[in-house]
Amino acid sequence: MVATALAVPAQPGTDRRRRIVHAAASLIMAQGYGATSMDAVARAAGVSKATLYAHFGAKAQLFMTIVAEECARHGNGAGAGFGVAAVPDALDAMGHAYLTLLFSDNAIAMYRVVMAEAHRFPELGQAFFDAAPRRIFARFGEWARARQAEGALDEAALPETMAEHFFALLRTSGFLRRLMALPPAPDGPEIDAMVAGAVHVFMRAYATPRTGG
Amino acid sequence: MVATALAVPAQPGTDRRRRIVHAAASLIMAQGYGATSMDAVARAAGVSKATLYAHFGAKAQLFMTIVAEECARHGNGAGAGFGVAAVPDALDAMGHAYLTLLFSDNAIAMYRVVMAEAHRFPELGQAFFDAAPRRIFARFGEWARARQAEGALDEAALPETMAEHFFALLRTSGFLRRLMALPPAPDGPEIDAMVAGAVHVFMRAYATPRTGG
DNA sequence: GTCTATAGAAGGATAGAC
DNA sequence: GTCTATCCTTCTATAGAC
């Protein structure tokens, strides 16, 4: 997934560090934190255990690093659909972007791991929530506020509430099923239907007669 | 929580078995499956480890027993609000029942544990999903179908879709925050607001002019 | 059925050489 | 910075006495 080759060799340790993080991320997202041994990480990264500890000091610190890096990647993927003009089209684009991200193997694995370890690493849940869902909700809230100013969305509603409801409508039981590892994972047509349903309900609840689309 | 005293003493081993299950459930829901040792379970239950293995054979089997018993308890708490006549009042009652259950410490702990271990115990996720969310959705679907027949809910919509949307609207980010152990846990007034918002959106999407309330 | 004691394996972390 | 080899702890599961 992540490129390990660089034009410039840089510090020899930098490449090793990346290999460690990548290997540890794969293992922890696949097996969970507790089930992943530092032995296994060292083996998968092709380094010795002592090197692991030279870089990260402890298993918990390596774990926190991984979550922080994944959070940064997910937070960046939150910006699709905001340029579309018509309200239903924009909702459709944002819904697809959100569900595609949310149902990805990486995102589901992150949710699972963070939920499982949140109370053993208290700052972890907050960091993940602020980096991923909260950022997406905030951007939607700004978008909704602008549409309210145009008269396209009900001005009596709070943008934050509309954001909550839109994304909640997308997290149907398909999200629960995915978190519980129940097959089948939602495919393209099913995601289309989920998005269409959410947009339909949202429009009925919050669109005005002047709404475009 | 669970009564341990019975009028009839029954077999002496039955009481020990209950003590074991109760102790193991508390520990596993508090710390997770991997972090709970059989030593700790034995200590908390006041029995020896050998007794544990005499009853359950292996840690995994004890775990499956606990999940099955919790599922049964949660499935039974799914029937509130169906007797109320007016549609918005019924939705309000069902919403409160659902969120009160969903935000309880036991339910959150169960979601967390099942999600964390679902891919190591494949039948676990299915059992939990069928016993808890699926049963609740099905009952709501029946209720919605009856209201459609009365002309109180849009007959163009599928009852299953309405169930998905109603409960999804209740699982706002408060549910995510709770799963990630982020304080504060939603209190009474906040739950009232969540339910009111969900009912409002649902009514706008699916109510007909003939809807009572 | 229940206990004490222990086997056997695995994991996190470190010492010391290079 | 990196490796090999190892210590110490903790875990699951069992053997054998009562």
The pLDDT of residue B94: 95
Global pTM value: 0.90
Nearest to B116 by CA among A62, A113, A97: A113
The C-alpha atoms of residue A1 and residue A109 are separated, in whole angstroms, by 15
Tens of pLDDT, residue by residue over A144-156, are 999 999 999 999 9
pLDDT, tens only, B47-56: 999 999 999 9
Q: Taking CB atoms and an 8 Å cutoff, what residues of chain A touch B34?
A: 32, 34-35
A38 class by beta-carbon count within 10 Å (0-12 exposed, 13-18 middle, 19+ buried): middle
Return the top range by mean pLDDT from A81-90, A183-192, B78-87. Answer: A183-192
pLDDT at A6 over 60: no
In chain B, what residues touch A134 (CB-CB under 8 Å)? 173
pLDDT in tens, A101-112: 999 999 999 999
Whether residue A172 and residue B179 make contact (CB cut-off 8 A), yes or no, is no
Which residues in chain B have Cβ-Cβ distances shorter than 8 Å to A116? 32, 112, 115-116
Among A32, A122, A173, the residue with its CB nearest the CB of B164 is A173
**Angstrom distance (rounded) from CA A19 to CA A13:** 10
Contact across the interface for B35 and A32, Cβ inside 8 Å: no
B16 close to B47: Cβ distance less than 8 angstroms: yes
Split at pLDDT 50, 70, 90, the class of B203 is very high
Q: pLDDT at residue B196 above 90? A: yes
**Residue A210's pLDDT is what?**
79
Tell whether the torsion through CA atoms of B190, B192, B193 and B197 is positive or negative. positive
Question: At residue B118, what are phi and psi to the nearest 5 degrees?
Answer: -60, -35
Cβ atoms of A118 and A71 closer than 8 Å? no
User: Which nucleotides of chain D does any protein CB come within 7 A of?
Assistant: 1-6, 10-16
Please report which confidence band the pLDDT of residue B37 belongs to, taking 50, 70 and 90 as the band edges: very high
Looking at residue B213, what is its pLDDT?
Answer: 56
Chain C bases closer than 7 angstroms to a protein Cβ: 1-6, 10-16
Query: Positive or negative, the Cα torsion across A119, A124, A129, A132?
Result: negative
Task: Flag whether pLDDT at B117 surpasses 60.
Answer: yes
**Which residues, at least 6 apart from B62, have a Cβ–Cβ distance to it below 8 Å?**
B20, B21, B24, B41, B52, B55, B56
Note whether B200 contacts A205, CB cutoff 8 Å. Answer: yes
Weakest-pLDDT range from A64-68, A80-84, A135-139, A178-182: A80-84
Q: What is the dihedral of CA B138, B25, A119, B137, to 10 degrees?
A: 0
Quote the pLDDT of residue A77: 62
d(CA A181, CA A189): 20
Contact A213, A86 (CB under 8 A): yes
SS3 assignment, position B111 = helix
Q: What is the pLDDT of residue B161?
A: 98
The pLDDT, as a whole number, for residue B4 is 36
d(CA A16, CA A189): 41
* Cis peptide leading into residue A9 (ω within 30°): no
Beta bridge partners of A153: A207
User: Chain A neighbours among B 73-102 (CB < 8 Å)?
Assistant: none
Q: Which residue has the tokens 């149907």?
A: A172
Q: What is the mean pLDDT of chain B?
A: 88
pLDDT band for position B198 (50/70/90)? very high
When the pLDDT of each residue in chain A is averaged and rounded to a whole number, the result is: 88
Q: What is the pLDDT of residue B8?
A: 34
Confidence of residue A82 (pLDDT cuts 50, 70, 90): confident
Of chain A residues 174-203, which have a CB less than 8 A from chain B? Answer: 176-177, 179-182, 197-198, 200-202
| Bond into B184 cis (ω within 30) | yes
pLDDT at A211: 77
Task: Read off the pLDDT of residues B4-13 as tens digits, 9 standing for 90 and up.
Answer: 333 333 345 5
Q: Are A63 and A28 in contact (CB under 8 A)?
A: yes
> Considering only B68-82, B130-144, B196-210, which range has the smallest mean pLDDT?
B68-82
How long, in residues, is chain B? 213
| Of B137, B180, B204, Cβ closest to residue A205 | B204
At what angle are helices A188-206 and B188-206 packed, to 10 degrees? 100
Output the CA torsion sign for B153, A152, A94, A187. positive
Q: CA B1, B6, B10, B12 torsion: positive or negative?
A: positive
CB–CB contact B125 A181 (8 Å): yes
For tokens 């027993």, the residue is B65
Instruction: Name which of B38, B40, B70 is nearest B54 in CA terms.
Output: B38
Work out the average pLDDT over B54-63. 93
